[in-house]
Amino acid sequence: EPKNHRRDRIEKLVADAVENNGFEMYYQPIFSIEKGTFHSAEALIRMRSTSELGYISPEEFIPIAEEKGMIFDIGDAVVEQVAEFAKRSEVVSQKLDFIEVNLSGLQAASPDLDKRLEQILRKYGISPSFINLEITETAVIGSEDVFSKNISSLRRIGFSFSMDDFGTGYASLSYLSRLPIDLVKIDKSFVDQLETADSRGDFVKAIISIGHMFRCKVIAEGVELDSQLSTLRELSCDYIQGYIWGKPAPIEENAIQSKV
Q: Which residues bind Ca ion (CB under 5 A)?
A: 102, 134, 164-165
Residue in 9, 12, 85 with CA at minimum distance from that of residue 45 = 85
**Residue 169, C-beta contacts closer than 8 angstroms, at least 6 positions apart:** 136, 137, 138
Q: Which of residues 201 and 222 has its CB atom nearest to ligand C2E in the complex? A: 222
**Touching ligand C2E, residues 1-40 (CB under 6 A):** 28
Length of the chain: 260
List strand residue ranges (DSSP E) for 98-221, in order.
98-102, 131-135, 160-166, 183-186, 217-220
Q: Which of residues 164 and 238 has its CB atom nearest to ligand C2E in the complex? A: 164
Closest CB 185 distance from Ca ion, rounded Å = 6
Residue in 95, 119, 114, 108 with CA at minimum distance from that of residue 41 = 95
Q: Which of residues 2 and 33 has its CB atom nearest to ligand C2E in the complex? A: 33
58's contact among Ca ion, ligand C2E, none, with CB below 5 to 8 A by partner kind, is ligand C2E
Closest CB 179 distance from Ca ion, rounded Å = 16
Closest CB 14 distance from ligand C2E, rounded Å = 12
Q: What are phi and psi of 105, to 5 degrees?
A: -55, -40
Q: In whole angstroms, how large is the CA radius of gyration of the chain?
A: 18
CA distance linking residue 220 with residue 239, whole number of Å: 6
Distances in Å between the Cα of 216 and the Cα atoms of 96, 179, 237, 238, 259 are: 19, 12, 11, 10, 25
List strand residue ranges (DSSP E) for 170-235, in order.
183-186, 217-220
Exactly one of 17, 210, 222, 240 binds ligand C2E (CB under 6 A); that residue is: 222
**Touching ligand C2E, residues 64-93 (CB under 6 A):** 78
* Binding of ligand C2E by 196 (CB under 6 A): no
* Binding of ligand C2E by 248 (CB under 6 A): yes
* Binding of ligand C2E by 242 (CB under 6 A): yes
* Binding of ligand C2E by 58 (CB under 6 A): yes
CA distance linking residue 31 with residue 46, whole number of Å: 22
44's contact among ligand C2E, Ca ion, none, with CB below 5 to 8 A by partner kind, is ligand C2E
* Binding of ligand C2E by 57 (CB under 6 A): yes
Q: Interacting stretch for ligand C2E, rule CB under 6 A, among 2-10, 56-64, 175-183, 227-235?
A: 56-64
CA distance linking residue 50 with residue 55, whole number of Å: 6
Q: Interacting stretch for ligand C2E, rule CB under 6 A, among 48-56, 204-212, 220-228, 231-239?
A: 220-228
Q: What are phi and psi of 199, to 5 degrees?
A: -90, -30
* Binding of ligand C2E by 246 (CB under 6 A): no
Q: Which of residues 2 and 196 has its CB atom nearest to ligand C2E in the complex? A: 196
List of residues contacting ligand C2E (CB under 6 A): 28, 44-45, 57-59, 62, 78, 102, 104, 164-165, 222-224, 241-243, 248
